[in-house]
Structure 1
């Protein structure tokens, strides 16, 4: 009886020692694979909103504030929603939201399919490079008059990059921290192209779909930029306000692992850390 108990206790001891050894060797390996390169978190999320809509001031910014998140709002300089609501945009900027540059007149290439909304005055294919650059800088002057800031990011209207086969942003690189494009992609910090930062366009998306995109960014230790227009209406490209709220709710619950910040702050962070 004593002998069998002795054998049993020896076997248990060996099992315990094996478990301890496995833990000691596997725990450091796990810690090394868990990347927290994004301001101490696993990934970064940037929430961007295009075209300076009333709904952004009336619904989106209050909702973001309620979750203590800051967004990037790409304003069209000539929009009446800008000129008629300057005090509200100024107040949003003071609380940490970014006012980004979406040009003066939102020019798009009218020669492409589905561009019936483009007028002769807003047809990028008829612009000179000098005009595209000048109007963008005029918008920067307007935005500085609103928020007093000199650092901000740019967003290509309609995702169109060129006029007369020239990438006009080449002449604006020193004016911005980065330019947001419209092509999706999860990139490493070292792979970011500041002239065309990837983004995930949202139209009719559910919270479940958007959360899955965030989780993919986390899995890849990357970052994700969301591109919104209407949120609860006011634009043909739209997501439901409640789906937007559910996304924010998820991000709030995951705040220990997910860094939510403006485009300008994430762009500056990448620049400072991508060569480390």
Structure 2
């Protein structure tokens, strides 16, 4: 009887491990590479690096940024290569009433926004992005990770406009437990490839996914990782391609939607 119980437990453990191995598009985990704020380095360095490995990235664009308006054709080409042009609002408003927000100007202080203004600006950004890539499906990223205008979750009024919204809180979840209105992510600043690889390994052990949130890659932003560390991360992902699904935020969101339906 004891031997039979041990055998059953062993079979259940094997079945569980096989289930985890098939959990993310037939792979052990998913990795999403996201890049915020529409920086020149994203077009000049990051996208060529991703293209060389045939990886898709998600680039959250501030639609009014000169790096968008002055380089539209390059963003269009990036989209044609499979990269997602995500919505990071029109002017990147953050809540200036919070501690440590001295950098927030009067014109882009989310705490002084009306809900109507926020929704209109985000939808305007969506239209501008559609004019570039011709696509109707995309995801949203909260500027500064701010979810509310005073006491209101403003994304509640935009859920039909997006597949998902990326937040800034870290964590490893199974697909059915993911809140698509606030998808977890890991903010990388001064991080080494070794540290990022350890995070991926943790996601893999959990049968989960990881969304990386980058700003500068080799400069151009106070929140930055070295270009060499980014390249080492891409090399690791290529070596582990049979186990790791490197995808865009919009494709991950659609995959999770199916799992939750």
Q: Same fold (TM over 0.5)?
A: yes
Within-5 A mapping of 1:255-270: 255-270=241-256
1:30 matched to 2:25? no
Cα displacement (A) at 1:117: 1.4
1:39 matched to 2:25? yes
Q: Distance in 1 between matches of 2:84 and 2:172?
A: 23
Q: Distance in 2 between matches of 1:121 and 1:151?
A: 29
Q: Which stretch has the larger CA shift, 161-170 or 86-95?
A: 161-170
Q: Which has the larger radius of gyration?
A: 1
In structure 1, list runs of 5 or more residues that go unmatched. 1-21
Q: Distance in 2 between matches of 1:197 and 1:129?
A: 22
Cα offsets for 1:60-110 (capped at 9, x unmatched) = 000001111010000001100000000000000011000000000000011
Q: Distance in 2 between matches of 1:188 and 1:111?
A: 34
Cα displacement (A) at 1:27: 7.6
Q: Distance in 2 between matches of 1:38 and 1:173?
A: 24
Normalised by the size of structure 1, how large is the TM-score?
0.89
* Paired residue secondary structure (1:138): helix
Cα offsets for 1:205-261 (capped at 9, x unmatched) = 000000000000000000000000000000000000000010110010000000000
| Structure 1 counterpart of 2:72 | 86
| Structure 2 counterpart of 1:194 | 180
Within-5 A mapping of 1:45-124: 45-124=31-110
Q: Distance in 1 between matches of 2:257 and 2:77?
A: 28
Q: Distance in 2 between matches of 1:31 and 1:165?
A: 45
Cα displacement (A) at 1:37: 1.2
Cα displacement (A) at 1:112: 1.5
Cα offsets for 1:14-57 (capped at 9, x unmatched) = xxxxxxxx99x968853542321100000000000000000000
Q: Distance in 2 between matches of 1:253 and 1:186?
A: 22
Normalised by the size of structure 2, how large is the TM-score?
0.94
1:171 matched to 2:149? no
Cα displacement (A) at 1:114: 1.9
Q: Distance in 1 between matches of 2:148 and 2:107?
A: 16
* Paired residue secondary structure (2:138): coil
Report how many residues are paired: 253
* Paired residue secondary structure (1:265): helix
Cα displacement (A) at 1:164: 2.7
Q: Distance in 2 between matches of 1:140 and 1:155?
A: 12
Maintained 8 Å contact 1:153/1:180: yes
Cα displacement (A) at 1:165: 1.2
Q: Distance in 2 between matches of 1:86 and 1:213?
A: 34
* Paired residue secondary structure (1:117): coil
| Structure 1 counterpart of 2:3 | none
* Paired residue secondary structure (1:252): helix
